[in-house]
Structure 1
Amino acid sequence: MPRPNIGIFGGTFDPPHIGHLVLASEAVQQLNLSRLLWVLAPEPPHKLEQPITPLPHRLEMLKRTIANNPSFEISRIEIDRPGPHYSVDTVRLFAEQHPDADIILLLGGDSLRDLPTWRLNTELVAAVSKIGVMRRPDVSFDMPALEAQIPGLTEKVWFIDALLQNVSSREIRRRAASGETYRYYVLPSVYDYIESNRLYGR
């Protein structure tokens, strides 16, 4: 019997948007995932100097975003343990909890590009079976150069084929703060939540 594939999709999700859903849904199908765990980062070490929406708001928006897909689950693996939280530690914990499954890490193209700056990046790559990557139209990277810095990376990377979505949480926050339209970049329930709670400077 084949080992199940469990996907891990981490992020601040501030806010979660349609680009996240496109990556996640395509990953479930193309990587044959039995489950996709959304790992909400309470305080990402690389964003300590940036203002981040309080965790309860981000958690509620994420719950609304994934509510209608039975393959999606929210993991509290980082919420319920003290930080700092690094992906390599999170992946190792998942591997311990699911010894009979293959762990697949999902990344955006920008995260793949920046992977050499991540803590214990070689160990992280070695700890997962695959790394599913969605390209962004505005992000480019040099795989040979990345391979030179992180040996073994190339054989783990699987590019996810999808209609490209040039949407980002940062741009949504900017649009919301400036009064520009952003309604259709997030689910209706998330849009209503942002507006009713006056997030992002509304």
Structure 2
Amino acid sequence: KDPADSKRRTCYALAWYEGKKDKKNKEMWCVDIIHVYSLNPEYVRSLPKTITKTTTTVNSDDTNTSITVNSDGTIIRYDRNTGNSIVYRPQDNKKASSIDVPIKNSGDFIQRFNDLRTEYIQVVQFAGKEQTFFANRIMPPVNKMLQLCREHSKLLKSNERNSCMGILDDMKQSARDKGIREMLNLAQTYLGGK
């Protein structure tokens, strides 16, 4: 409690997370420190309808990025140095997706594969260099693509299989996160019939 005012107190919240490696390739840990000075806090009895979380990072090239995540899934990445912002709304992908169409033939497979590829590209372009930070947004289309290849690749003809393998190669080149690359490798393995 504040000795000058018994009704007010100071609280600190610390959130640790793994940062990028430093110049000597050593692991770095970062911390968000939240300082609250207010009247005696009370428990939150109900959450607001909209919850927004914002974090700011300083990148290795000294750029400053602010990332805001809203409760509806919308993510806003704002570059404080350039003033540019990018908005990603995963809910927009669901409206035009073929995700509910059953896979009965190679045409259904290709349509679903392309929808998942489009979703993946949008998230990867949004994430930029911070793909590991946004892995929870990038992995869902990758996991669905993996499942698609595992369960339905037998529907594809040889030329369709080769085209999908080439597309997965391109996707791997844009993946900066090892986990994402490994899942795309596994999808290729399933496409190859193994």
Q: TM-score, normalised by structure 2?
A: 0.27
Q: Which has the higher strand share?
A: 2
Higher relative contact order (CA 8 A, sep 6+): 1
Larger Rg: 2
